[in-house]
Amino acid sequence: MSGNRTFTMIKPDATTAGNTGKILDKIIESGFTIRAMKWTQLSKEDASRFYEVHKERPFYGELVEYMTSGPIVAAILEKENAVEAFRNLIGATDPSKAEEGTIRKMFAKSIAANAVHGSDSDENAAIEGAFFFSSREQA
Ligand code: ATP
Ligand code: MG
């Protein structure tokens, strides 16, 4: 059975472009409930650790650099079948391949600066949520 929580970040390209409110509206309109949220900034160490699964990939350095280039919004979202529902809402990693109406189609600038993060499994949603929020903050 799939879970009802996922984790998201609004990435630096979107926060600095002033799109945070529009993206949050879209998330809420799509039926997600915000269970925890914070506006913060990742250090190089934070971003390296968060994206450690990608450390062998050629874009890892660029990704860490980019994710520390401005503020991010981290949030835990709730909806039935949350991980898959949210991945459908954000669209493909590469915005040129993302479907019409998805958050990345509307707001992403490039494959690296792609506006939002969405967890890819229930297990990773729990790990990523715990990276930013204590268990009390996730209640
Ligand atoms: P996210 O994990 O952020 O939701 P995703 O699951 O769609 O994105 P991943 O394959 O997990 O995609 O890649 C993580 C992030 O690394 C992407 O969101 C993007 O910011 C960056 N990235 C992925 N592929 C590339 C690439 N070819 N060049 C530059 N950056 C990339
Ligand atoms: Mg991913």
Residue 102 lies in a domain: yes
Residue 60 within any structural domain of the chain? no
The closest alpha carbon to 61, from 110, 112, 17, 26, belongs to 112
pLDDT of 139 strictly over 90:
no
Residue 101 domain-assigned (yes or no)? yes
Q: Of ligand 1's atoms, which has the minimum distance to the CA of residue 66?
A: 20
pLDDT 10s digits, 3-21 = 999 999 999 999 999 999 9
Structure-token match 């930013």, residue found: 132
Residue 123 has pLDDT above 70, yes or no: yes
Which residue range forms the structural domain that includes residue 123?
5-41+72-132
Number of domains observed in the structure of the chain? 1
Q: What is the dihedral of CA 122, 138, 60, 96, to 10 degrees?
A: 70
Residue 28 within a domain: yes
For residues 48 and 134, give the distance between their C-alpha atoms in angstroms, rounded to a whole number: 20
Q: How far is the CA of 6 from the centre of ligand 2 (A)?
A: 12
CA distances from 131 to 58, 74, 90, 120, 134 (A): 24, 10, 21, 15, 8
| Interval 27-74: pLDDT, tens | 999 999 999 999 999 999 999 999 999 999 999 999 999 999 999 999
| Residue 79, domain CATH | 3.30.70.141
CB of 59 sitting under 6 A from ligand 1: yes
| Residue 84 lies inside a defined structural domain of this protein | yes
Ligand with smallest separation from the Cα of 86: 1
32 located within any domain = yes
Cα 99 from Cα 92, distance rounded (Å): 7
In a domain, 66, yes or no: no
The pLDDT of residue 1 is: 64
Q: Does residue 80 have a pLDDT over 70? A: yes
Mean pLDDT of the chain: 97
For the Cβ of 114 lying below 6 angstroms from any atom of ligand 1, the answer is yes
